Structure formats: structure tokens, C-alpha cells
Structure 1
């Protein structure tokens, strides 16, 4: 493979001039003389350089310790630098393991960029809420919380704050937002990552998020096209089918993506779902020899005919991770990459994971197979040129190429320390979370609870980390208000289905109870199929009701729990991620949803959120609470 060091010296002056003209439309290449200049730049690149621009591996770990455990890749090294140079990589994706703290992340990103002749796309999945990679950044409450807050202004501010933090670290692409319309309550992979179950709500919230994010110079990525909102299988684990008709796709799934395209989204990420209404072709699985459909990621009918031609997207298409089992199990790693490129993909995400020097051989094999495929005509060189043209155009538009950063590394670190997790961003996070709090049920004005020194509160939570977070929030509330209450805690995650005697005793002695629940499902008549913990949660609400104990449910994550707990007097949805181990010693910021939920339960926040999804009845045959439902204390 050839490396042409002259690339930058030949073209940067031209690129810098071009960078001032891009921006009117984030997903189009200008039809002016600039287009000819861009073509000249592409034509000056070797085929090897072009192929490298289309590959985006991860360096999540590098090597192993004496116990055989993978070591997180947090410090740039010569080996990784050589791999970036040798294969002319267009970008890398960072994970939580790579971003331990602000200074370390800034140094790592700086080192990655210095290793590359052509500036890299440095990408990350910083959605907010459930999918948050930065360990010292601002978590934000997540998309469904923003949908519940129903405030486009705050959503734009959230997107902008997240973009500012990424930009300060040198990360120039965010694989967010999720624009899937979550119309399936049993969706195992999207859920609260979606803004909601109404296409227009998702479209409007998504646009506000994108507007805020891209205003900072960070490229946004709408995902997962053509829509992952009505699936019951996690594509990380296997094939998932979206059975929507063409009409449903056009009136539900496409709506948010079309708005994002019209408003200038930089990138769109594909979904590893099969959509028979768009592509009903079949192939034979390499895993078990069965007949399987073609996932959107590998479908020319979906990526080119629909996304490019029908919806008019001219920006960068990136695949979801190619090591997910929906792809790797059935299509083979190398074959899948070739199919994805021919389908219309511009960037192949994580075709291999390069976690040590020996793993380079897999990248080398893939690179040479792609190169050979172009030379023998399996992949046309024009197909490669189209993708590289879009990638380089986006790099110019976002200032990745053509706008030199003259600051020293220490100056970059100082700036990042001021921006990442700043007081202002924390203030925006708090406002967004408070606006999201949704009171679904409040019989007999059970809430808000009062802090009274001579009263006993029982906190029953699912998982120690969540119980710890609820307890920490309670302590903060008592400190803030100067009022106290006696309290005790229980974790029910490993118990059930019958109520243990110590649980009954604690309930009997309590004056009020907070029960935290996590994605319950106890279908009437099918209780035996529910988990022991879920059945215990339902039994706790019923026992408390027989004892006439005020019990409030905090639905930690998906808001659907309310349907399975009819005996609960009050239910509040907080749309939160998992809890956090406050004893771990990490300096990571705590998730905000549960603490704000506790503040709402004690009346420090008035719940004004509205359900962004409909909550079906427990048997799934009707609607218990519609989209837009929510009550307040006032």
C-alpha cells in the first residue's frame, strides 16, 4: 500500500478555501466550481487512501494485563499510530473505555489526529441518558426524557451543550440522535433512547437536538435508518424484522429522517434490520444455512433507492457496528463489508476490532480484499469515489480539514476542563430532567410525600446502585431543606416471587414507601412467565395497599411499568439509565433522572412532563394512558 505524504501539501490550500463555502446544506455538495475542486482533490488520492477513508475500526482496548484482562486504550502509542498511517484510516470510534477523564481524552484524541496525514473523524456514541460514553462529561437525561419535557428550546440547548463538550475534547462526530419512533413497548434495544412514539414529536425533537449539536461544529448522525422503533429483537444479538408496510414506513419511520435530511443532517447510520416492504430479497445464512432477509445495512434497494433517491439524502451514510451478530453471524465479516459498500455505504463502522498488534492482520486482510474487489470490478471505483467525496466534503464543512488549530495541547486541555461538565451544562441538564418528570397516577393525592422527623420512609429499589442513588438523593434533599425523615432501604432485584418476611415487616413499620421498578412485565393470566423480581414488585404494591400504606412507584426507565401495578397509588416516570455505584471511587458524574425523581416525590419539583409514548393495558389489547398524558401537583 502506498502512502503519499504530498497529499496535504498539495491540497490543503484548496481545502481551506472550500471550507468557507460549505454550510448552506449539511447533506449536499455544492454544484459550483467548488465541486470541480473537490473532484480534483479526490482524483489526487490513491485508491489505498480512498479505501482507508471508508474504514472506521475501534481501538477500545490495547493488549492484556498479567491476569489476561483487556487493557483499555487510553494513551496513544506508536503501534496504533502506525496502523492509522498504514491503512490511511478515515476515522476511529471511541468507547467508554477510551475516555476515562477530560485531560486523558484530550491527549488521546490529539495523539490520534497527529498520527494521520488526512485528519480523522473522531466519533463517539454520546446520545445522553442510557448511552453516554464520557465519564466526566454531562450525562443529560436522555431522549425520551426530552420528549416528555416537550420543550424544543431545552432540547436544542441539550444538543448544543453536548456538542460543546465533544468539540472541546476534539471529538468531531457524535453518533446521535436516535430518530427511531418507539412504537413497540417491548423494543429491547431502543426504548428510552427514542424521543417517543409519535413520528412528528420525534421529528421535531430530533431536529432541535441536531440544530444544537451541529451549531458547535460537531457532525450529527441520525440513526437507525430505516427505523428500529418497532422491533422485538436486539440486533446486537440476532436478526430483527420490521414488518411495517410501505405506508407505515412513510407515515411513521421515515418522518423524522426526512425532516433531518431536509434540515441538513450530516450523517445517517443504518440499521441491521430486515424490512420486507422495502427489500424482500433472501440469502442463505452462513450461520445455519437457513434463508434470511437482507438487512438494510447491506441493501442497495434501501440505502440507494430509498435513502438516496427517494428521500434525497446526499450526506454520509455510516453502518451500525458491523460486528453485531445480525451481520457477523449470517453474512460473514468480509462479504458483509463488500455488500455494504455496494449497497451505498460510505463508512464501514467496526468491520474489525483492533485491540492488539496481532489483530492488525485481520484489518490487513480486509483492506486487501476490498482493494482486490475494486481492481477486479466487484466494487466499482466510481462507488469508492462517491463515498470518499462525501467524506472529504463533510470533513471540509466541519473544519476537520482546512482549519488548522494552532493551540498547544495544554491550551486544549485547559479549554476542555472549562467546558466538559461545566456548571452551565449541569444547569441545562437539571432543567431538562425536571421538565421531564411525568406523574402518571396520583390517587388521593398520595404525592408529594412530606419530610417529617417522626415518620418512617421505606425505599425499595431494583439493584444496589439504584438504591444507593435514591438514598444519596434523599440525603441531599434533607440537607437542602433542613428537614429529616427516618428511612430504611431494601433491594428486591434478587428476591421473589413471594414477599420475604423482612420486606413485610419493613412495609408494616413504614409510613410511606417508594418502590423503584425497572421494565416490568407481568401480564394478567401469564404471571408465571414473569421474572421473580417483577412478580415481587407487583406483590409489594398489593400488600402495601392491603395495609393502607401510601406507596409511590418510580419507574426508573421505560414508563410502561404503570400498566402492571394497578394497586400502586402513585406512579412517576423518570426515563432514566441504570444507577451508578457511588462507592466505586470514580469521578464520573451521576445520572440525574433518579435524583430529580426523588425531588419530585418530595415536592421540590412539580411534575409537568407528558408521556411521549402510549402505555398499553397490561394485556396489550388497549391503551391505558395515551401519548401526551400527564398530571401535576397544581
Structure 2
């Protein structure tokens, strides 16, 4: 029984010794990597092997590696995030990016990636999803989720579609509070559900829950779960703890039979109402199979073990979850070969071919939203650059043969922004009467405030590969082909200009 309860947990570890201790004492189902316990590829692979060797049952060694703004692995090939892939609009790009990422993770012994994000970001003020989403159109997001799931799993890494039932329409961060999303069942079916249906159709290994309250959705489950309607208290529970959401909707309405994992149990959205001993038990009762990052493993493990011993969690319910976890491990080949080859890790990661794929994805994503008086491309003009990451962009423009100069002698000024919001308009005005080109390196919603600029582009990423791609588009070396994945600056999803 203790081994079975252990399989329900994926926990942090601060060092190899800490990981080994948790394996031996709690028989954990997995461990999650963060930058503090990764160094070089070779050492990370050796550490993964040591952890696997200590566990009788193969471990899920996971990481939260979405690329873009959520990237935990310090040494892998850098790709732009999901919204850039949404702008590229090609499922083949999403698959290629995920397969490269997955292959490099597997080279260091990581066999589970908590990605892709399947949320449809329809709220420009969303503080927690934003660029992590492929976009605002459910059809587009569904196609790219399918590509990403196929890419990760082709690389031998388990994928986890998140955050069910959909975290894209909130202005509250579930890390620090408990968001309430008031989507009706009909709206959920139209907006939030399609990417999760697509992930399930692609045989995704895992689905991650959201710490969000969805009262109308909970009440829409016929008879609740167990033949009675949800109580008022239950309709105010986060989805992670809701039988109506996990068992009624995900298992029932969507027919999902794989592993359901909670989002991190360290987050305020799941801790506020019930606390660190009750929440893990309620999550398993609701239908979750794995409990991610409990704030205190001893407290959470003890609470779940006691719930099994008392019958609050039945043996049958425990066995259902353990069986799903073991089947996932079997599906990923972990009962055959669970180790990595430290000697080969460096050769697999950051190859020229992988970097070429990243460059291609970045170039496909750059979106030209406005180009008045054909101010772009810039080649042949004197250009000043100001704003975040301007030094990197100046260097990249010079490499493309663009004359970069100071503001006073420039013909055109490129203003970069990173989530500047309403301040963008004032920054444009401060640059005087010469034409201004605004390049949004973060959320594209900055372009809602760029009406005073002669030209506007969305890059969706501050990564080096995206800044290089932006320079190529600005110079004219690359024709922009990206299309808006979210409505911006009065333009609909799908808008994008080219030079020819």
C-alpha cells in the first residue's frame, strides 16, 4: 500500500541526496527538475540515472519545459514560445519544436514534459497564460496542440496537456489567488474544450488540472457525480478538487482514460480553501491520479495513506490511479530502458540541425501588422533602435547590412516593447516626428497602443533566435509570413502583411 500511495506523488528535490531519500522513504512515482538541480547535460544525465537506479519502479522524471517564457532547462536549444508557434500557424512547426525539445530532454533522462499548454487565451489581461497559449482561436490551438503532443511523444517523452478545463479567460493568477471563470457549458464546449479533445484524440499521456473555479460548468454536469447535483460548496471548489470537472467532464464527457495530474499543489489557488493535508485527498477523490509538488511531502503522503487506510479513498480507487501511472511508464518504455547515456548527452543537445529548426520557426512567426508608406523593410535607411533588448537588435540588424545610428541622425526609429501596455503610446510620442516602427517582443497586446507608429510587428519572444528573425524581417532579408494568433490593434486573428 505504501508503494502504491507513493506512485501518486511527483515531488521537488533539492539535490541528488534529497531525491534519493524521497525515493527510498516514500516510493515516489516521480521527481520534477528545476534549474537548481540541473547543471551540465552530462551531469544531469548521470543524476537521472542515479535516481532511476535507486527506485524499484521506474520514475517519471519531469520538467516544466514549455519553451518561451516558461523554460526550466538551462542548456537546451531555445525556441520561441507557443504564441509564436500560433503566429506561424503550422502544426508541422509545433511538432518539430516539441520533438527537438523532447529529444534533448530524453538525452538527459527526463521522460515527462508538463507541456503543451492547451489554453485558449481570449483575455488580453490574463496574467498567467498569455504567450504560453497558441492563441485565441480554438481551431488553431487544437491543431497546434495535436502537433506538439505528437512531437513530444515521438521523442519518447510523455506530454501533458494543460490546464483543464481551460485557463485562458482569467485576469487572476492561480499561483497567487483563486480565479473564477464563468463560462457556460455551451461556451466551454465551443471555446475551451476543443484543444483538450484534440490532445485526447492524439493519445496524450497526461492532462493537467487547473486551480480555477468554474461554477456554471460544475453545475452543468447532469446529476453531478454520484447521482446528485453539486452542493454550493462544491461549485466553489477549484477544478483540481472537483469530481464534476475531473470525473464528470474529463473522464465522462471527453472520455479520457490516461493520467490526470494536478497542477502544483504549492499554488495558492488550491491551498486557500482546504489546506495542505485535505487538498491532496480531495484531488484523488475528485479523479486525479498524480499529485504534483505538494508543499510538504510527509504531510501530503501521510494524509493520503491515512485516507486509504480509513476507506475515504478506496483500494479500488487507489488501484485505478496506480494502474494508469504504471501504464504510462510502460508506454514510454521505462520498464525496458530508463537510463540515459551521459557520454552522448552533449552531442544530442544544441546540434546545428536543431538550431536550424528553431531559426525556421522563429522566422515563420514574425507578424507584420501595419506598414504605412512602406516604411519597411529598412535596408538603405539609417536606423535608431531603442527599448528593451535594443543592443541585441542593433547587433542583429548590423549583421543584416542595416545602418544603425543614433536617434538624431536616423531616418527611422525602431522601438521595442515588452508588455508595456498603455505606456507604448507615450513612448512613441516621445520619439518625435520621424517614422517609428514598434516591435512587440512580449505580448502582442502592446500593439493596441501603437496607433501612432508607422509600422508595427509582433515577435512574441525576447529570445535570441526571435530577435535575429525580427532583424531579418526588418531588413527585408526575410518576408514576414506570420499571422496574428490573437486579435490585436483592431485586427482579427489571421491578419498579417508581407512585403511581396
* TM-score category, normalised to shorter length: over 0.9
Distance in 2 (alpha carbons) for counterparts of 1:117 and 1:310:
36
- Aligned residue in 1 for 2:319: 385
Q: Cα deviations across residues 405-444 of structure 1 (Å, max 9, x unaligned)?
A: 6x8x7xx123211111111111110000100110001000
2:484 equivalent among 589, 601, 611:
611
**Match for residue 418 of structure 2?**
518
Q: Secondary structure of 2:293's partner?
A: strand
Q: Are 1:127 and 2:66 matched, yes or no?
A: yes
| Structure number, greater radius of gyration | 1
In the alignment, does 2:157 pair up with 1:203? no
- 1:571 is aligned to 2:456: yes
Residue in 2 aligned with 1:540?
427
On the 8 A contact 1:283/1:294 being kept in 2, the answer is no
Q: Distance in 1 between matches of 2:143 and 2:484?
A: 16
1:57 match: 11
Contact between 2:8 and 2:28, CA under 8 Å: does it hold in 1?
Answer: yes
The answer to whether the Cα contact below 8 Å between 2:278 and 2:303 also exists between their aligned partners in 1 is no
In structure 2, distance between residues paired with 1:208 and 1:322: 29
In the other structure, the counterpart of 2:363 is: 434
Q: Which runs of 5+ in 2 are unaligned?
A: 220-229
Alignment-derived partner of residue 42 in structure 1: none
Within a 5 Å distance, the mapping from 1:273-422 to structure 2 comes to 273-279=212-218, 293-352=236-295, 362-401=296-335, 403-404=336-337, 412-422=341-351
Q: What RMSD over aligned residues (CA atoms) do the two structures have, in Å?
A: 1.9
- Work out which of the residue numbers 368, 373, 384 in structure 2 matches 1:458: 384
CA contact (8 A) 2:378 2:402 kept: no
Judge conservation of contact 2:10–2:32 (CA < 8 Å) in 1.
Answer: yes
Q: What runs of 5+ residues in structure 1 fail to find an aligned partner?
A: 1-46, 62-72, 285-290, 353-361, 489-505, 523-533, 578-589, 618-623
**TM-score computed with the length of structure 1 as normaliser:** 0.75
TM-superposed CA distance for 1:568, in Å, is 0.4
The separation in 1 between residues aligned to 2:64 and 2:299, in whole angstroms, is 27
Q: Shift of the alpha carbon at 1:521? A: 2.8
Q: 1:196 to 1:84 in 2, by over 3 A?
A: same
Q: Equivalent residue for 1:66? A: none
1:68 corresponds to which residue?
A: none
Contact 2:48 2:108 in 1 (8 A): yes
| Aligned-partner Cα distance in 1 for 2:298–2:417 | 48
Query: Offset at 1:467?
Result: 2.9
Gap change, CA 1:573 and 1:137, over 3 Å in 2: same
Pairwise CA distance, 1:196: 0.8
- Residues 282 and 294, structure 1, Cα contact 8 Å, conserved in 2: no
Per the alignment, residue 225 of structure 1 pairs with 164
Q: Secondary structure at the match of 2:415?
A: strand
Deviation at 1:292, TM superposition (A): 8.5
Offset of residue 84 of structure 1? 1.0
The alignment partner of 2:157 has SS state of coil
Alpha-carbon separation, structure 2, partners of 1:94 and 1:605: 37
| Partner SS state of residue 203, structure 1 | helix
8 Å CA contact 1:299–1:343 kept in 2: the answer is yes
2:436 corresponds to: 551
Between 1:550-559 and 1:427-436, the stretch displaced more is 550-559
User: What is the total number of aligned residue pairs between the two structures?
Assistant: 490
Equivalent residue for 1:631? 497
Asked whether the equivalents of residues 85 and 117 of structure 1 are also in contact (C-alpha less than 8 Å), the reply is no
1:104 to partner: Cα distance: 2.1
Query: What is the SS of the residue equivalent to 2:294?
Result: strand
